[in-house]
Amino acid sequence: MKIIIRTFKLKLKHTFTISRESHDIQPTLIVELQSEGFSGFGEATSNPYYNITVDSMRAHLEAIIPFIESHNDETPEEFWDSASALLKNDMFALCALDMAYNDLYAKKKGKKLYELWGNSPLHNPKTDYTIGIDKLDKMVMKLKEMPWPIYKIKLGTKDDIAIVTELRRHTDARFRIDANCGWTVTETINNAIALKKLGVEFLEQPMKADQWAAHKEVFKHSVLPIIADESCIAEEDVAKCHNHFHGVNIKLVKCGGLTPARRMIAEAKHYGMKTMVGCMTESTVGISAIAHLLPELDYVDMDGALLLSEDIATGVTITDGIIHYADSNGIGASLINR
């Protein structure tokens, strides 16, 4: 098995702002695994919050090339177990590798990845579309630019209720709120009351990740469901989130790929929690991989490629929140002009 590593700078349509950062360019790393005439693709983006760069991911992957090239026939689960021991300090790089291996493995089996897992896409959830923090008139403009059935609205400002009130004037769509750790307990409980009246479905990670007593308090008193994001990074975090959150938002790059994500989804269901997978402004490579988890999810946030001014790949397509799979096997993604 041969590995090819590529890096790209993905340009966004608009400056993307959340409670702690803004950016116009999203660096990303693409892994291609080649074997027996097939190619599998995987992706992981850089992330300053977790001190991840495309250069650090490349270095960690290049350091284990002998390992990668000596493996070929294991199941994705077996491959992940071996690779995770070597990339235990870089879940992002592990994600790109695991994603590519799952894609390659399914192509060798002549199946789409969801088919290999025995799933049906008949009841897939729709994806939301994200409106980042901006001046209010620009947030309204972004909403009108992309009519959509579900919006995720980034908050964490002093005027959050006023923002949602104004946005509600322009659409009847379902709203989801992501405060990215920007609120206190009191703000969360009080904001939930106002936001429920404004047609908000749930709140995502309103407080800082390690404030477990605060999460417990909000879990008891919020009139809206609370979904963990920054508090649910790795597999061991699902149990911690039980009775502190109503659901978990799993990010493939944070947990190390599709393989551990499926285990986390199963564990969350065991605890009676809602399941969600989110994206990190990936290209259509990463978004196509997320799409195959849809039959196992209650919610999904996979609009990353829609936020780009120019994509680097083809694969799944999205119209009005509905995901359409590519005809090809595996995750269905291919790089453009590779």
> 278, 250 in Cβ contact below 8 A?
yes
Nearest to 68 by CA among 27, 41, 97: 97
| Integer Cα distance of 311 and 108 in angstroms | 26
Label residue 301 left, alpha or beta by phi (over 0 means left) and psi (-120 to 50 means alpha): beta
pLDDT the model gives residue 223: 98
Distance between alpha carbon 255 and the CA centroid of its chain, in Å?
A: 11
Q: Which amino acid is at 178?
A: D
The answer to whether residues 289 and 102 touch, using CB atoms and an 8 Å cutoff, is yes
Residues 6+ apart with CB under 8 A from 287: 279, 302, 304, 305, 315, 316
Q: Write down the pLDDT at residue 19.
A: 60
pLDDT in tens, the chain (338 residues): 999 999 999 999 987 777 666 779 999 999 999 999 999 999 999 999 889 999 999 999 999 999 999 998 899 999 999 999 999 999 999 999 999 999 999 999 999 999 999 999 999 999 999 999 999 999 999 999 999 999 999 999 999 999 999 999 999 999 999 999 999 999 999 999 999 999 999 999 999 999 999 999 999 999 999 999 999 999 999 999 999 999 999 999 999 999 999 999 999 999 999 999 999 999 999 999 999 999 999 999 999 999 999 999 999 999 999 999 999 999 999 999 76
Q: Residue 132's closest CA among 91, 81, 94, 167?
A: 167
* Torsion sign over Cα 216, 156, 49, 253: positive
| Alpha carbon distance 25, 21 (integer Å) | 12
CA distance 65 to 324: 34
The pLDDT of residue 36 is: 95
Tell me the chain's radius of gyration from C-alpha atoms. 19
**pTM above the 0.85 mark?**
yes
Locate tokens 């897992």: which residue? 117
CA distances from 289 to 213, 282, 314 (A): 35, 10, 12
Calpha distance 263→250 (Å, rounded): 11
